[in-house]
Structures are given as structure tokens and as C-alpha cells.
């Protein structure tokens, strides 16, 4: 599925208090690669930003007044996220603003425009419980440089979150991404090496375990009214192992 990493900047914390979106960015991920296809828009909120929000994003009212209002860019957003999984850090915050703007523009709610919304903050909290999981902390944890992030910006934050997301969800792919490009090593393009189990230790069952096993088989015999399949097959050959 096509994935979109999305971030917004706003005039404040609560759309119910009249706060609006001032910047929106979407960065595309295809086949676990961040592409050059992105959507980046500044939005005229028709109001000033709260001082705390202005310190975060630095977008002045005079600058934003030169850009379109949200109803003018709503269709661009809908077209870009259509059919995609949208990844947002602290998704509840951004989605409540997106829904407030979309409803005001006479459009469907955001969740109906895309295939799925995934909260990367919730994923990070499951992976790293009890630790800081904001974007800066995750960049540091995964060795992603954010030295150029002096202010929050929707496009920059989306690009960083895209890198963080790929690192967080790398999983089994790391076997292919980190291996040597030699066919004998079993990485992409080569045959997988044969697994040699001869070095695995054999741990025979002790007396207590064997007694418990026999007791369990007795219960199976009693429940079935006849010897269980294990006993009807006979004990395994000791030479073959268990």
C-alpha cells in the first residue's frame, strides 16, 4: 500500500477555540523508499498564531496572508492521500484539525479520504515504553540527523518522520539491507545458505518432565477411553532423538 507521512502546523492547540492549520505537508513512501513526490502547502488562517505556536513554527501572519485558505487546497489534499495509509505522529492532534478544516470546507472527514491512519507515536510508545518518543528523541535513537531542525516545519518534520518510520518498521528487512551482496550469503539475488543444525545442543528430558508427560498421557487415555495416538505409535527411537 502507498504510504503518506503527514504533518501540520497550527495557530494553537484547539480547533474548538478557533485555531487553524497554517502549514501542511505530505511525503510519499513507496516500496519502503521516500520518494520525491510530496505535497507542501502554506495556508492562510485568517487569524494570528498564539505566541507559543509562533515560537514553534515561526510563520508570521503577514506571510501566511499571501497563501490560499484551506477550502482552496482541500481537494489537493484529498487527491494526494486517496487510497494511502497516512502516518502521523500524535495523529489525534492533526486529525482533529484536519477534520475541523474539512468540515468547515464542506468536505468529508479525513479518515474517509485515505485508506488508513496510523499513529507513529503509539507505535513508538509500544516499542519504547517509558521513554521519550517525540520526533527529536526518535531521530537521536535511530541516528537520524535533525541538526537543521531549528524550528518545526511541516515538510521537514514529515521528511524526518518518514526516515524514522522506516527505521522503526525495518524488522525482517534488515536481513536483506545489511547483508553482503554475495550470493553465498543468502541475501538478495543469491541462494540462501543451508542451515546446519548439527551444532544445536540436545537437551534430554529429565525424570520430572518424563513423569509429567506420562501423567498427561494417562489423562488423555482416560478422556478418550483408549490409548492415545502417541502411545499407539510407540516410543520414538532413542537414536533419532525426540
By annotation, the residues acting in catalysis are 152
**How many whole angstroms separate alpha carbon 126 and alpha carbon 121?**
9
DSSP classification of residue 197: -
CA distance 71 to 19: 15
**Distance in angstroms between the alpha carbons of the first and the last residue of the chain:** 44
Q: Do the Cβ atoms of 168 and 142 come closer than 8 Å? A: yes
88: nearest Cα among 3, 22, 20 = 3
In this structure, the number of other CB atoms found within 10 A of the CB of residue 20 comes to: 21
Nearest to 3 by CA among 25, 33, 39, 42: 33
Amino acid at each position: 500500500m502507498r504510504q503518506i507521512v503527514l504533518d501540520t502546523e497550527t495557530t494553537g492547540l484547539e480547533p474548538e477555540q478557533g485555531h487553524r492549520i497554517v502549514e501542511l505537508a505530505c511525503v510519499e513512501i513507496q516500496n519502503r523508499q521516500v520518494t520525491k513526490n510530496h505535497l507542501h502547502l502554506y495556508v492562510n488562517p485568517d487569524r494570528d498564531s498564539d505566541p507559543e505556536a509562533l515560537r514553534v513554527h515561526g510563520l508570521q501572519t503577514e506571510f501566511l496572508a499571501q497563501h490560499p485558505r484551506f477550502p482552496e487546497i482541500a481537494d489537493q489534499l484529498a487527491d494526494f492521500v486517496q487510497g494511502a495509509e497516512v502516518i502521523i505522529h500524535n495523529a489525534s492532534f492533526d486529525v482533529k484539525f484536519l477534520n475541523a478544516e474539512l468540515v468547515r470546507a464542506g468536505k468529508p472527514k479525513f479518515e474517509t479520504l485515505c485508506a488508513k491512519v496510523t499513529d507513529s507515536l503509539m507505535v513508538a510508545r509500544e516499542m519504547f515504553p517509558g521513554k521519550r518518543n517525540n520526533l527529536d528523541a526518535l531521530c537521536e535513537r535511530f541516528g537520524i540527523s535533525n541538526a537543521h531542525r531549528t524550528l518545526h516545519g511541516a515538510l521537514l518534520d514529515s521528511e524526518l518522520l518518514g526516515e524514522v518510520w522506516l527505521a522503526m518498521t525495518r524488522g525482517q528487512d534488515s536481513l536483506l539491507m545489511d547483508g553482503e551482496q554475495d550470493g553465498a550469503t543468502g541475501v538478495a539475488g543469491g541462494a540462501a545458505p543451508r542451515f546446519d543444525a548439527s551444532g544445536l545442543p540436545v537437551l534430554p528430558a529429565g525424570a520430572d518432565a518424563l513423569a509429567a508427560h506420562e501423567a498427561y498421557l494417562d489423562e488423555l487415555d482416560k478422556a478418550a477411553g483408549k490409548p492415545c495416538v502417541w502411545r499407539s505409535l510407540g516410543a520414538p527411537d532413542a537414536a533419532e532423538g525426540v
